[in-house]
Structure 1
Amino acid sequence: MVHDLPPSPAQVPPRLLHDPAFLTAARERDFTTLFAMAHRHGVSYYRISEASGIKSDRISRIAQGQGTVTALDTIIRVADALRIPGAQLGLAARPWENSTPQPRLESDDDGDAPMNRRQMLRGTLAAGLTGTALTALADTRQSLDLALAADTEPADLTDLEAAAETYGYGYHGQPPRQVLADLVTDFAELKPLLSTPQPVATRIRACRTAGQMAGMAAIVLHDLGARKASREWFTTAAKAARESGDMQLLAWIWGREAMVPLNYGAPQAASLLVERAQRAAGDRPTAAATLTAAVAARAYALSHQDEQARDALKAADAYMERLDAGARADTWFTHGEQKHHVHLSHALTALGDTARARESQARALELSAPTSTMTRSLLLVDAAACTRHDGDTEEACRRTTAVVASLPDAYRTGLVHRRALDLYRAIPSQHHREAAVRELRDVLAA
């Protein structure tokens, strides 16, 4: 559809669009220079303000070097106000470019149609690689350079990438619902970057950040017990990761997604998901490959596929030994020693290997921060499950009851509750009348 827009009241003189200083400022999104040059050529700050919707005093301050423009929607409004072609600012072609006559120099031919441009280049090149010919070639190349604008660094995207990195350090004592609210608010800020044409490099970064944020939102929803919503966010995260081309991020997302059915009673479904994640991760010693092997061990152990579970544990340990320091950092995207032992604890507990499970529990608790409410609670429930495996059902119930009763309100539902419920359901019915078992049942029902 062609949008037949009237000329902008702030349209810059056509000769400015061929001025090297103006073109450089546009490429670098130097709005101080752009506004100052437009003003010197007769475009008042008031007219720029009226056309762009930016306050005139802000336009004046920017022209004097006391501010700039970074938000994508504002850059688009300036392009439309001054009638600067999108390519010069690293944007897609603006709607009015198809209907507004383009500025012409005296050397222009009858237009910018492909056939005329082809004939002009052929005629110029027929005389050899002269200065004129090389200039024509350079103009064509530079126009594409501007369209790609790979060196553009949108400030809002940089801020969102930093926010994603910060969220990756986990809860740090904050209630899950608070973390979720903050995460989703920042995630929404990515929409303008993803819903408008962007340079390839910028879109890759935006998609990767979207995949990370959506994946972390899914983790929090999983921890809160919202299984369906968690799976939906993982689907969005995977879509973004695939578009970014980051296979390790995609493997991480699928590995974390497998933990939803794993932790909520469907280990066989989890094993199918995690096998897909393992294929994406490949066989290099990465954080994603280590995570997926550890999750696979848990899924196989809970499915009573003991041999596969032990093979997966060996693979996870082998990857862990080869991880570099960066991949061992304590974030949601990496695979540190504490996280590794949390996975081993659950897998070994499910296998009934209580001696090794207790070793992993002790090490994980040693490495866990005092504020890691959820992680420490899960480890304590695993320890209680080991006690049940060793034959002391009463003590196992007392320990689990103490864990659940001590949880803050924000943690009373979700993953810890589910892990405690799994322990209760594994207790043979002949023990259900015992006082400790009844007390655990009542706490879980409260």
Structure 2
Amino acid sequence: MKRRDVLRGALAAGLAGPGLAALTNTRHDIDAALAADHSDLGFWESTAERYGYGYHGQAPADVLADILDDFAELRPLLSLPQTVKGRSVLCHVTGQMAGMAAIVLHDLGQHREAHRWFGTAGRAAEQSGDTLLHAWVLGREAMVPLNYGAPQAAAQLAEKARFLAGDQPSATAALAAAVASRAYAIGGHREKALRAVADVEELAERLRPQQQADTWFGYPMQKHHVHMSQALTLLRETHRAYETQQRALDLSRAPSLMTRALIAIDTASCRAHDGDRAEAARIAAQAYGALPASYRGGLTRTRALALYRTLPTDTPGIDTLADALALAS
């Protein structure tokens, strides 16, 4: 006899015997599934939150290895039956963790693989139904072409992120505007870049404290000044750039090795623009050369090499910078 017929008979008899047992067993099954689902989801949400706090002095390759280990456990859950809410949460966590894996790959200089992981993160974000998460993924993905020679593609991704983020102040909207400002500056679109700088500065002032959290998902003032350092350096607004570089350093935690090196290279670029090329070479060589070997690839090398190529070959101290770059080649 079908369970439906057993239950109908039990209801007619006042819920007794096999019908009551079937009803009770069904409820127990659901409760067990809900309890397991809640436990798993809570663990994965906390895991994604933990990764969101960034490197904390760890080498990028080590962080990436940890994320991939956790993904090996998370992946099977995506193929299991879930409640609508459970599926949404799993997709949200997957979008966050795939996005963070892509960030690390970007920092390691693996920009092709970073794009692929951002694509996965974007699909997961769409399925989660969280538009702001999708905008965050696009905004972070825009930093790949931004830092590796494709400013037009970066601007397009940043503008898509700005559209999805909407007009309300959010960490994602601020990030997207900041990336847009840098992309336009690199591409030589000065007026667009200056408008984007004004937009992000206005957004940053309106963010709530929780939106300024110092995580990969927040937009802390330290991160804001790092973005503005690069945008204003590229725009040759050196006076403003020096000010925001100092603010970024003041707000950076001691273990922020990569951040401090990138800010120093921005400062060196400003010095070169202002005519003090010897000091530019000295600052860049010292900042880049002091990095541990695991930090000398990817973005830091790209920035240091770009500065090196702008300096005349007879610049005092340029050989020291060349030697530092050769150590990572």
Residue matched to 1:278 = 162
Superimposed CA distance per residue, residues 133-159 of structure 1 (whole angstroms, 9 cap, x where no aligned partner): xxxxxxxxxxxxxxxx6x874322211
SS of 2:169 mapped into structure 1: coil
Residue matched to 1:388 = 272
Kindly provide the amino acid, as one letter, of the partner of residue 294 in structure 2: A
Superimposed CA distance per residue, residues 238-260 of structure 1 (whole angstroms, 9 cap, x where no aligned partner): 01001111111111111111101
Residue matched to 2:93 = 209
Q: Deviation of residue 442 (structure 1)?
A: 2.7
After TM superposition, the structure 1 = structure 2 runs for residues 92-241 of structure 1, keeping only pairs within 5 Å, are: 153-241=37-125
Residue matched to 2:129 = 245
Residue matched to 2:28 = 25
SS of 2:142 mapped into structure 1: helix
SS of 1:371 mapped into structure 2: coil
2:22 aligned with 1:15, yes or no? no
- TM-score, normalised by the number of residues in structure 2: 0.91
2:319 aligned with 1:438, yes or no? yes
- TM-score, normalised by the number of residues in structure 1: 0.67
**What is the distance in 2 between the residues matched to 1:245 and 1:152?**
23
Superimposed CA distance per residue, residues 338-397 of structure 1 (whole angstroms, 9 cap, x where no aligned partner): 000000000000000111111111111111100011111111111111111111111101
After TM superposition, the structure 1 = structure 2 runs for residues 398-409 of structure 1, keeping only pairs within 5 Å, are: 398-409=282-293
Q: Deviation of residue 193 (structure 1)?
A: 1.7
SS of 1:433 mapped into structure 2: coil
Residue matched to 2:230 = 346
SS of 2:105 mapped into structure 1: helix
Give the 3 Å change call, closer, same or farther, for CA 334–17 of structure 1 in structure 2.
farther
User: CA contact under 8 A between 1:263 and 1:415: conserved in structure 2?
Assistant: yes
Of the three residues 219, 231, 235, the one matched with 1:335 is: 219
**What is the distance in 2 between the residues matched to 1:179 and 1:411?**
13
Residue matched to 2:180 = 296
Kindly provide the amino acid, as one letter, of the partner of residue 247 in structure 1: T
**What is the distance in 2 between the residues matched to 1:154 and 1:190?**
14
**RCO higher in 1 or 2 (8 Å CA, sep ≥ 6)?**
2
| Larger deviation, residues 219-228 vs 261-270 | 261-270
User: CA contact under 8 A between 2:110 and 2:298: conserved in structure 1?
Assistant: yes
Percent of paired sites with the same residue: 50
| Larger deviation, residues 194-203 vs 215-224 | 194-203
Q: Deviation of residue 20 (structure 1)?
A: 4.2
2:309 aligned with 1:425, yes or no? yes
**What is the distance in 1 between the residues matched to 2:21 and 2:203?**
57
**What is the distance in 1 between the residues matched to 2:170 and 2:114?**
24
Give the 3 Å change call, closer, same or farther, for CA 17–409 of structure 1 in structure 2.
farther
**What is the distance in 2 between the residues matched to 1:167 and 1:184?**
12
SS of 2:93 mapped into structure 1: helix
**What is the distance in 1 between the residues matched to 2:20 and 2:240?**
71
Give the 3 Å change call, closer, same or farther, for CA 21–399 of structure 1 in structure 2.
same
**What is the distance in 2 between the residues matched to 1:279 and 1:425?**
36
Kindly provide the amino acid, as one letter, of the partner of residue 356 in structure 1: R
Q: Kindly tell me the number of residue pairs found equivalent between the two proteins.
A: 311
2:241 aligned with 1:357, yes or no? yes
Q: Deviation of residue 323 (structure 1)?
A: 0.9
**What is the distance in 2 between the residues matched to 1:185 and 1:369?**
27
Residue matched to 2:7 = none
**What is the distance in 1 between the residues matched to 2:255 and 2:106?**
19
Kindly provide the amino acid, as one letter, of the partner of residue 440 in structure 1: L
Kindly provide the amino acid, as one letter, of the partner of residue 70 in structure 2: D
Superimposed CA distance per residue, residues 31-77 of structure 1 (whole angstroms, 9 cap, x where no aligned partner): xxxxxxxxxxxxxxxxxxxxxxxxxxxxxxxxxxxxxxxxxxxxxxx
2:199 aligned with 1:315, yes or no? yes
**What is the distance in 2 between the residues matched to 1:172 and 1:423?**
27
Of the three residues 234, 243, 261, the one matched with 1:377 is: 261
Kindly provide the amino acid, as one letter, of the partner of residue 58 in structure 2: Q
Q: Deviation of residue 441 (structure 1)?
A: 2.2
Name stretches of at least 5 consecutive residues in structure 1 with no aligned partner.
1-13, 30-88, 90-148
Higher share in helix: 2
Kindly provide the amino acid, as one letter, of the partner of residue 268 in structure 2: A
The RMSD of aligned alpha carbons is 1.6
Kindly provide the amino acid, as one letter, of the partner of residue 71 in structure 2: F
Residue matched to 1:114 = none
Q: Which has the larger Rg?
A: 1
Kindly provide the amino acid, as one letter, of the partner of residue 28 in structure 1: D
Name stretches of at least 5 consecutive residues in structure 2 with no aligned partner.
1-16
User: CA contact under 8 A between 1:401 and 1:443: conserved in structure 2?
Assistant: yes
Kindly provide the amino acid, as one letter, of the partner of residue 300 in structure 1: Y
Kindly provide the amino acid, as one letter, of the partner of residue 28 in structure 2: A
Q: Deviation of residue 404 (structure 1)?
A: 1.1
